[in-house]
């Protein structure tokens, strides 16, 4: 069965700084990979997904992620964060069904 | 508008009082699932359904039941809720299990 590890539970950064949220997965078969964002008191919103093709995936709100098969990673990046990016971010992997990581709380400070 | 609708959004109940959280989707999706979200644990799958009348356990099924009598509805039933089931619950649907899920807005359940 697949599993997901988000390596940082909390990431504090200053506004306009770059950020990387790390995600590693394990699976014995080909997988699809996802990043979701959850703003306070809201549901989950899809940021981006990797199904196949180019390993660099661009999503909404200026986020992108790179699929690295050899390192089994799917790290999320943004070159310059805003206060409004403060949220919890979840990495997920699916083959037959979907598994989520424990989440990374991104806090953007002024 | 494509959506997954959960009700209620908030619920406070007492230990042992049976409750049902409803979930309905309007996208004709085959696959539906329930998750619970707890701090530091992310989302864990409770039950899933690959099609009508087909359901199976996820990672944390104890204390929960589900049914899938129609394609659009997938209610979550807590026959005898306990305080350790206090959590935020999400219903999701997708074309297939590996496909991009659409999530409901969540149900925050408190069992006292």
Is the CB of A98 less than 8 angstroms away from the CB of B58? Answer: no
Q: Could you say which residues from 66 to 85 on chain B have a Cβ atom under 8 Å away from some Cβ of chain A?
A: none
Is the CB of B105 less than 8 angstroms away from the CB of A42? Answer: yes
| Mean pLDDT (whole number) for B76-105 | 93
Task: Give the lowest-confidence range in A30-34, B82-86, B101-105.
Answer: A30-34
**Cis amide linkage into residue B8, ω under 30° from 0:** yes
Is the CB of A96 less than 8 angstroms away from the CB of B103? Answer: no
pLDDT reported for residue A1:
67
pLDDT(B92) > 70: yes
> For A94, which residue in chain B has the nearest alpha carbon?
B98
Q: Which residues pair with B6 in a beta bridge?
A: B23
**How big is the A-B interface in CB pairs under 8 Å?**
49
CA distance A80 to A45: 20
Closest CA to A39 of A98, A97, A103: A103
Residue A105, burial from CB neighbour count under 10 angstroms (0-12, 13-18, 19+): middle
Note whether B42 contacts A: Cβ–Cβ < 8 A.
yes
CA distance B21 to B88: 12
pLDDT reported for residue A49:
94
Count of beta carbons in the 10 Å neighbourhood of residue A1: 10
Sorting pLDDT into bands at 50, 70 and 90, what band is B28? very high
Is the CB of A94 less than 8 angstroms away from the CB of B42? Answer: no
In tens digits, chain A (110 residues) has pLDDT values of 678 999 999 999 999 999 999 999 987 677 899 999 999 888 899 999 998 888 899 999 999 999 998 999 999 999 999 999 999 999 999 877 788 999 999 999 99
CA B57 to chain A, closest CA, distance in angstroms equals: 12
């Amino acid at each position: 069965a697949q599993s997901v590890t988000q390596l940082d539970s909390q990431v504090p950064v200053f506004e306009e700084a770059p950020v990387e949220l790390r995600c590693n997965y394990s699976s014995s078969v080909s997988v699809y990979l996802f990043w979701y964002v959850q703003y306070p008191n809201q549901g989950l919103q899809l940021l981006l997904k990797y199904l196949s093709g180019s390993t660099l995936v661009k999503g909404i709100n200026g986020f992108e992620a790179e699929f690295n098969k050899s390192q089994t990673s799917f790290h999320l990046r943004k070159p310059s964060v805003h206060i409004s990016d403060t949220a919890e971010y979840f990495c997920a992997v699916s083959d037959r069904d979907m598994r989520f990581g424990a989440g990374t709380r991104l806090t953007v400070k002024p | 508008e494509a959506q997954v609708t959960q009700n209620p959004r908030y619920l406070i109940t007492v230990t042992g009082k049976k409750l049902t959280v409803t979930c309905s989707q309007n996208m004709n999706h085959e696959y539906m699932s329930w998750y619970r979200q707890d701090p530091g644990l992310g989302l864990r799958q409770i039950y899933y359904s690959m099609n009508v009348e087909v359901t199976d356990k996820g990672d944390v099924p104890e204390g929960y039941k589900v049914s899938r009598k129609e394609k659009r509805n997938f209610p979550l039933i807590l026959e005898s809720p306990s305080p350790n089931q206090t959590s935020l619950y999400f219903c999701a649907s997708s074309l297939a299990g590996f496909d991009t899920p659409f999530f409901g807005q969540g149900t925050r359940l408190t069992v006292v």
